[in-house]
Each structure stands twice: as C-alpha cells, then as structure tokens.
Chain A
Amino acid sequence: MTQGDNIISIQSVSKHFGPVKAVDDTSFNIKRGEFFSLLGPSGCGKTTLLRILAGFELPTSGEVTIDGQPMSTVPPHARPTNMVFQSYAIFPHLNVRENIAYGLRKRRLGKAETARIVEQALELIKMPGYGERRSDQLSGGQRQRVALARALVCQPKVLLLDEPLGALDKKLREEMQIELRQIQRTVGITFVFVTHDQEEALTLSDRIAVMSRGKVLQIDHSTRLYEAPNCREVAEFIGTMNILPGTIGEVSHGRANVAAGTHGAFEARTDGSAPRPGTPVLIAIRPEKLQMSWERPGLSVNSLAGKVGAVAYFGDRSHFYVDVEGCEKPLAVALQNGERRLDGSDLVGKPVWLSWEPDSAVLLPA
C-alpha cells in the first residue's frame, strides 16, 4: 500500500446516459482519511459519480482507482467501498441486528464474534438495545444510523454517503452532522459525501468539490470556496454573491483598477496571477462585506450609490436589496440587527451609499 496520500483517483471519467453527459471528463483525487463532499444542484452528476465509485454505474470512459486497484472490472460486491443510501435501504424483512450483520456473512466470523461487532456498532451509533427492532419501528434518524453502522461494520476503505441527511428535518439534521463528523474522526475511514446543501457541506467537509452539469468547477476547503471562489457559478451557488461587471485597468502590486461604467473605478486585490489590462471581469462581493451609509464614504474605500428596493428580515440580520445602475440584480447588503427595530420598511426608496474594502472583493472571470 504505497499509494501515498490519495485513496481514490478519478481519471478522465465520463458517464453518458444517451445524449446526456451526467459526468463529463472529470479528474481528481480524494485523500486518505478525509471527509470529502461532492456538492452541487440536483442533476449535476454528483450522485452518478458516487454510484460510479460504488460500482453501480460503469463509466462510459475513464478509470477509477481505489487504493491503487483499478476498479473497471470489479463488481459492486467486491469493491472496498460501502454506501449509505439516500433512502437508507434498510431491509424490511430483517431486524436492526440482522441488518447490521448483513455484510458480515462472508467473513464467517462465528456467532459470538458477529454479535460482538454488532453490539459495538450499536454503541457507536448510540442505539444499544435496539437490536431486535424492525425497520418500521425506527425513526428517520435511527434508520440513518443503522444504515451507517451496517456499512461501517464491513470496514470499507471508503464510505460513500448519498445525501444521507436529506430526509431528516432541520434540527435532527444539524445533530446528525455533528455526530457524523465525530464518527468519521473515530473510525478514520475516508468519507465521500454527496449533498446539495451547501451549509451542510461547508460544516462537515475537509474538502469540497463543487459540481455543475457533469463538471467539477472547484475543489477546495470550505473557507476558500466561500472567500475565494474561482468562478461566478461557484460564487453564486455557495451563499449569496453580489456581482458588478467591469474591465481591468491598471495592475500593480497585487492591486487592480477596475472600471465599472458610470460608477467610476474600483480597486480590487488580484489573487494569484494578475489579469491583463482590458479583460472584462466581475467584481464579486459578499453581502456581509458591504457597508451601507447615508453619506458618501471617504476615498479609501470603494463606493457606489443606489436606492433601497426591498428589505428581507431574518431575525438576527436583515438583507437590504439596493438597486444600482448597471447591475442586473439589486445588490444585497447584510446588516446585523444590533438594536431592536420593529419596522425596517421605512427605508425602502431611500438613496444610500454602499462601500467595501478593496480586499473584500474577489475578481472573477466574466
């Protein structure tokens, strides 16, 4: 086992269903022991990719290697992976104990040993004493745990999870997220987690691959995905992003001057390689990084004028949607509701100034 850090290697994998390219020439690696998420809207190919890893789908072209072994000729039942299904797929004719022990048959462990492993697994998922329950006597969260235990007792090299928290209500989902992370740390197995919920992916994962239309757009840590997205699609899929179109002007010392039509020019930091002057770009600013004021702020920050179009109240904070000339969508500004105000609607229609630090904006390719 000298495969180094990578346990899974996906090399130019494509999967076509007729004319539909569910996965389109995708390559990346997953590191040993990491919690890796595939994030994207429904239909982006994330589940297909997971099913290719499990062996339920064969790639149209390309190769998957798990722990150094090419997988193209290995059927699902002989792969070192196990899966937690979206529907949990708890066998209705077996009780919890028999469900968990299902994959142990082939190991021929003997009754006592099997019972010990099942008991241990029930401890791990905090369900001791539930062994004799049938699947219809379990809640959604419990079914999810049983599905997890059933896969873990097989000691897979990689655990595949297909939206395992999708069917749970919000509160339970948050509890399970913490528990899932703890279990992953305890067992140390590589988790590949499919979800469409960006918050879930950000909290749980070591690294996230953002997918869209069969392609991986960006693979990064949570903070980098949020603070330094590499394209408009990633920026807008993860959280809210305000977009201002512009053109690169002068570039010097990691700073670029971006001309934005009637609003004049803004200063922005260039991450990585400096763009060539004259290229069209998008200035992307997160709502919480925008300031809003009645008066025009000083010249050390970027600023532009607009008019409040609508206010959305979220309890702890409010989003102000400010109409700005030259932007297709109003810019969102997030403000903490630091003091009690019973009505914010009186602000609608008022002219305001928006401003931000040059370092707060990201330049994205147009």
Chain B
Amino acid sequence: MVRLRIDPATAYAIFFVLFLYVPVLLIPLFSFNDSTVATFPMKGFTLNGYRGMAADASLINALKNSLMVGIGVSIVSTALGLLAAMGATRYAMPGKSPVMGTIMLPLVVPSLILAIALLVILRQVFDIPLTLWTVAAGHVLVCVPFSMLVLMSRLEGFDKGLEEASNDLGENAWMTFWRVTFPIALPGIIASLLMCFTISFDEFVMAFFLSGTDQTLPVFLYSQLRFPQRLPPTLALGSSILAVSVVIVLVSEWLRRFGVQSNKPGAF
C-alpha cells in the first residue's frame, strides 16, 4: 500500500503559508462577490465593485495624491538613502554607529509616535498647514532607512577597488560616481525606488495624522471602511492596492536579488 507521507516540517510550511495568505486573499475574493456583506455562502460573480470604484471622483483624486506623494517620496528617499549608504559603506568614521542608529530609528519607533512628533513641530512650533507636503515629509522619514539598507547591501557587494581604479585612470570623484558607482548600484537604486513607492503608497498612520484636506488613498480607504453599504467598492479598491503592491514588490525584490547574487549588472 502506498502511503502518502508528509514531513511535519513541510506540513507546517503549508499551514503557515495558508495562515499568511488566506485572510488577505479574502479581500480580492469578496470584491467579486455580488453582495454588500462579506459572508458565506458567496453570491454571484460581479464587477460592480470595480465599476463603483472607478466612478468615484474623490477616490480618483486620492489616487492622484497618492501617486504624486509616492513618486516624490521614492526619489527623495532613494537619493538620501544612496548618499547615506555610500558614506556608510566607503568610509571609516568615528561615531558612525550612533548616526546609523538614528537613521534606522524609524524602522522600530511606532509610526504613531513619529507622526505626532512631526505634528507637534509642524503645527505647534512652526504653524505649517497640513498638506500633501507634510505627508510626503513623514513618508521620507519612514522610507530612508529602507532605502539605505537596500543600497548598502548592493554597495557592500562591490569592490572598493573599482572606484579607486576609476580614480587612478583619471576620473575625479564626480565622474567616477557616474561612470562606475551609479551603473553598478542601478539595480539597487531601482529596487529602492520601487520599495519606497510601495511603502508610501500603502502607508496609513503618517498620512492620517499629517494630511490636510487632500487625502491619500489609504486615508480615503479608511474613511470608507466605516460605511458598510460601501463595502463592494472598498473591497475593489483594497484589491487594486494589493495588486499594485504585489507587482511592485516582486519586481523590486527580483532586481535586488538579481543584482546581489550574480553581480552581472552588465545587463543594464
């Protein structure tokens, strides 16, 4: 008799993946359900949720805001992350660890605390009105450490001798950056851009505290969660946001690992 034996470790891995994915997959699943409540048994298949979503002008506006903030934040954070990563991987500096520790702080400090601290200095100290700019500032704060980590792993992999060689062959620091460092770090830079974009695009707490009248997509989504009758378009919106993140993360992860593993940036 053939007995199908599953190794307990594999069984656990399967359980784990289910635990991780099933709750999240409910959102896209019920977004096609022809009902205003997310309950079993499911009713018929419909795209009404998506139609409702596309017809919502304030949603489109929030999407536009999120795209603007996301693109701006990813460029600024990646530039700042690249500078920090280059400094950290190239130079021996006294006091490097406390400086790096401070830059990494937003990784562990609850974003609520970061948000209210920014809120205090913006509103109480400088009396700056809350706009998309303040949201973007908050997002840069959260994105820089991620960007720096991604780029550091990329830059650590490459020989310091390459930059010296370029210098030795007659190029100054600026041209060496453009002819050697930048092309080699490019996969990491693209990965960082994409990663920062997703973080900003998905971020809720900062945006919730720091936005004025202009909402970003997650803040808009949050405002919709309170209304049960708007569940179908909200689920459709949630599914779309998930899909965007998944695609971007897959591309950026692929780029990052591709770069680190084979070290063949000649393809770019």
Contacts and interface: CB of A to CB of B under 8 A. Distances in A.
Interface in B151-194: 158-159, 161-162, 164-172, 179-180, 183-184
Q: Which of A78, A86, A91, A94 has the most C-beta atoms of chain B within 10 angstroms of its own C-beta?
A: A91
Contact of A89 (B165, B171, B183): B165
Q: Which of B159, B169, B172 has the most C-beta atoms of chain A within 10 angstroms of its own C-beta?
A: B169
Given A89-B161, A93-B183, A77 B170 contact: yes
Given A87-B159, A134-B266, A92 B170 contact: no
B264 A134 contact: yes
A159 to B, nearest CB: 11
A233 to B, nearest CB: 30
Q: Is chain B's binding surface mostly helix, strand, loop or mixed?
A: helix
Q: Is chain A's binding surface mostly helix, strand, loop or mixed?
A: mixed
Given A75-B172, A77-B170, A106-B170, A89 B265 contact: no
A88 B266 CA distance: 17
B268 interface: yes
B223 interface: no
A28 interface: no
Interface string B225-268: 00000000000000000000000000000000000000111101
Given A103-B170, A106-B170, A154-B170, A92 B164 contact: no
A128 to B, nearest CB: 21
A207 interface: no
B159 A89 contact: yes
A201 to B, nearest CB: 23
A76 B265 contact: no
Given A75-B172, A89-B159, A106-B170, A95 B165 contact: no
Interface residues of B, number: 22
A91 B168 contact: no
B255 to A, nearest CB: 15
B171 A77 contact: yes
B180 to A, nearest CB: 6
Contact of B169 (A88, A93, A95, A151): A151
B268 A76 contact: no
A110 B184 CA distance: 26
Nearest to A147: B165
A130 to B, nearest CB: 15
Interface in B200-241: none
B183 to A, nearest CB: 5
Contacts of B179: 102
Contacts of B167: 56, 75-77
Contact of A93 (B165, B171, B266): B266
A76 to B, nearest CB: 5
A14 interface: no
A32 interface: no
A77 B170 CA distance: 4
Interface string B126-162: 0000000000000000000000000000000011011
Interface of B: 158-159, 161-162, 164-172, 179-180, 183-184, 263-266, 268
Given A56-B167, A88-B161, A102-B169, 6 more contacts: A78-B170, A83-B168, A91-B184, A105-B170, A106-B171, A136-B266
6 contacts: A82-B168, A82-B169, A85-B164, A89-B165, A91-B162, A91-B165
